[in-house]
Structure 1
């Protein structure tokens, strides 16, 4: 069961990032329907990712590296919602956009590196 949840978790992460990028691109192009559907799919993937992540965290016994990864993952979900929400409302411009996208990139890279045991 652990291997199945690990594969689900990894797959959902990949799909989540792809769907997020699709939603953002459609949002910046002004395609309302092309934004709403991927955004709702991303929210479903947030739930799947959190459930599978909690299961894995409990199964592994809360090691520090995966606990840090969990905190970063929650931060990344927050950043995804902020980027999409503020862009939709027209509040994310200039240096704020750069600020959030840099945080997004750093968090995503750290999560991937911790998940594949490159660091920590």
Structure 2
């Protein structure tokens, strides 16, 4: 059975607090297949605190939160899918972020 955790996200932040750690919040719409993830880094986000926090969280942890996206245009959050362990992190400001999910770590508490 997958454990349940409290995910504390804040509107406008790209990280959420889970069990005392700040984890990256990734969009479910950027998943590729069962285990892949690919997201572009937009030029206007380079150098912003939100992106810096996201990249730091990805580099410092092997867990990330996946959010359910309400709208593909606004990417507004409609809750969380869960917390997932990942490997194969690649960050390139020209090509974006890619990684591979390896396991479901936890479901969100409701």
TM-score by length of 1: 0.30
* Structure number with higher helix proportion: 1
TM-score by length of 2: 0.32
The structure, 1 or 2, with the larger RCO (C-alpha pairs under 8 Å, 6+ apart) is 2
